[in-house]
């Protein structure tokens, strides 16, 4: 989840489509250690989530949601936007395969077109920008052809993603269990209040909202916070207590661990090889870091000051730190597909 991201959506209003009054949860699946779809749906039901937002229209998940009272948001993936925008037949096929095949047994209530579209600034990404609204229009035409109408008189404000990370890298100020629990508990209390609070312009309006996200996802790229937005660990256990119905008083929760990173970290940090990683994969990441130029690995050449000790782990740790230091300002992160971690201990002292 990126704070500057914009998410465009078209709202599908079907029979019995009024909001449930319950908070929703984003169900991302960028992890190689997550519970099955069936277990995940059971977790959502046990947590009493009122709705779930998917980042695609996964057939298995949509089938498993059939017959439940969970309202569902599905998404047109970014890679399909241009094709749908330029071809009504493709839009019709998408609606047929991903809406009609499951509705009404699965309570599909929202179609989202694209994810963080305006965050992609490459030439190909900018090309997608120009096709975003046309894709939405073609999906709308397809829905109308199936007698599924958008009710423009009652389109509501909807919060597609909000939340707080429970952990992060050394410099990720404020990322803690205490802050995440406090934010999300207060969010639930506010958004499920009776009567609804609404907004100054629309008092009393229920605002559907989705907490990001169900799980910590270990394959998300970027800073450490990207992998720690979950309500649940990858094994399905709670990271902190939260009642999504909003009925539990704050005094009824167990005390939270104190937070120690609410002020910016002023010390040094290094990017090093993570423990117990696959050495073959580590060699590949080392090669990548050293291939980026700018003298990243010059000190690792034979005869130079950091050539010894001669080990893949040492060379990778040096290369990762050097790469991170040189390219952080351009968006580089200490991740390397999960092969790197941050440390506040100078790795050269243990070399």
Where does the pLDDT of residue 75 fall: very low under 50, low under 70, confident under 90, or very high at 90 and above? very high
Specify the domain boundaries for CATH 3.20.20.80 within the chain. Answer: 9-252
Rounded mean pLDDT of 21-37? 95
What phi, psi does 22 have (nearest 5°)? -110, 160
Poorest-pLDDT segment among 17-21, 291-295, 310-314, 333-337: 17-21
Q: Superfamily assignment of 9-252 in CATH?
A: Glycosidases (3.20.20.80)
8 Å CB contact between 72 and 23: no
| Catalytic residue annotation | 116, 161
- Taking the C-alpha atoms of residue 135 and residue 140, their distance in angstroms, rounded to an integer, is 9
Using DSSP, state whether 127 is helix, strand or coil.
helix
pLDDT at residue 136, as a whole number: 94
8 Å CB contact between 289 and 322: yes
8 Å CB contact between 56 and 99: no
pLDDT at residue 155, as a whole number: 56
- Report which of 48, 271, 321, 282 is spatially closest to residue 169, judged by C-alpha positions: 271
- DSSP, residue by residue, 295-347: TTTGGGSTTSTT--S--HHHHHHHHHHHHHHHHGGGT--S-TTTTEEEESS-G
Rounded mean pLDDT of 181-197? 94
Pairing of strands 209-211, 270-273: unpaired
Q: How far is CA 41 from the centre of its chain?
A: 18
Task: List, for residues 299-336, the tens digit of each pLDDT value.
Answer: 999 999 999 989 999 999 999 999 999 998 888 899 99
Q: How much is the pTM? A: 0.85
Where does the pLDDT of residue 1 fall: very low under 50, low under 70, confident under 90, or very high at 90 and above? low
């Amino acid at each position: 989840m990126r704070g500057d991201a914009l998410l465009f959506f078209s709202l599908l209003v079907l029979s019995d489509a009024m909001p449930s009054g319950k908070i929703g949860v984003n169900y991302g699946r960028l992890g190689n250690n997550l519970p099955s779809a069936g277990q995940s749906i059971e977790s959502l039901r046990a947590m009493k989530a009122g709705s779930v937002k998917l980042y695609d229209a996964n057939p298995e998940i949509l089938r498993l949601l059939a017959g439940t009272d969970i309202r569902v948001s599905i998404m047109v993936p970014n890679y399909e936007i241009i094709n749908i925008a330029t071809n009504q037949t493709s839009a019709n096929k998408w609606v047929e395969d991903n809406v009609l095949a499951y509705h009404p047994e699965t309570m599909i209530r929202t179609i989202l077109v694209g994810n963080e579209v305006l965050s992609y600034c490459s030439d190909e990404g900018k090309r997608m920008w120009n096709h975003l609204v046309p894709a939405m229009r073609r999906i709308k035409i397809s829905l109308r052809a199936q007698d599924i109408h958008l009710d423009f008189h009652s389109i509501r404000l909807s919060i597609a993603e909000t939340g707080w990370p429970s952990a992060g890298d050394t410099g990720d100020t404020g990322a803690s269990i205490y802050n995440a629990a406090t934010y999300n508990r207060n969010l639930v209390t506010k958004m499920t209040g009776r009567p609804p609070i609404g907004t100054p312009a629309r008092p009393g309006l229920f605002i559907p909202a989705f907490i990001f996200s169900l799980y910590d996802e270990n394959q998300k790229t970027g800073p450490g916070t990207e992998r720690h937005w979950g309500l649940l660990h990858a094994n399905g256990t709670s990271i902190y207590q939260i009642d999504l119905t909003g009925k539990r008083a704050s005094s009824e929760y167990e005390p939270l661990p104190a937070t120690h990173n609410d002020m910016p970290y002023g010390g040094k940090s290094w990017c090093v090889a993570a423990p117990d990683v696959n050495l073959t994969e580590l060699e590949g990441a080392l090669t990548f870091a050293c291939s980026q130029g700018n003298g990243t690995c010059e000190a690792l050449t034979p005869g130079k000051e950091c050539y010894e000790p001669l080990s893949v782990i040492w060379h990778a740790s040096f290369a990762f730190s050097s790469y991170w230091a040189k390219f952080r300002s351009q968006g580089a992160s200490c991740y390397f597909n999960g092969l790197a971690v941050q440390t506040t201990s100078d790795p050269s002292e243990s070399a």
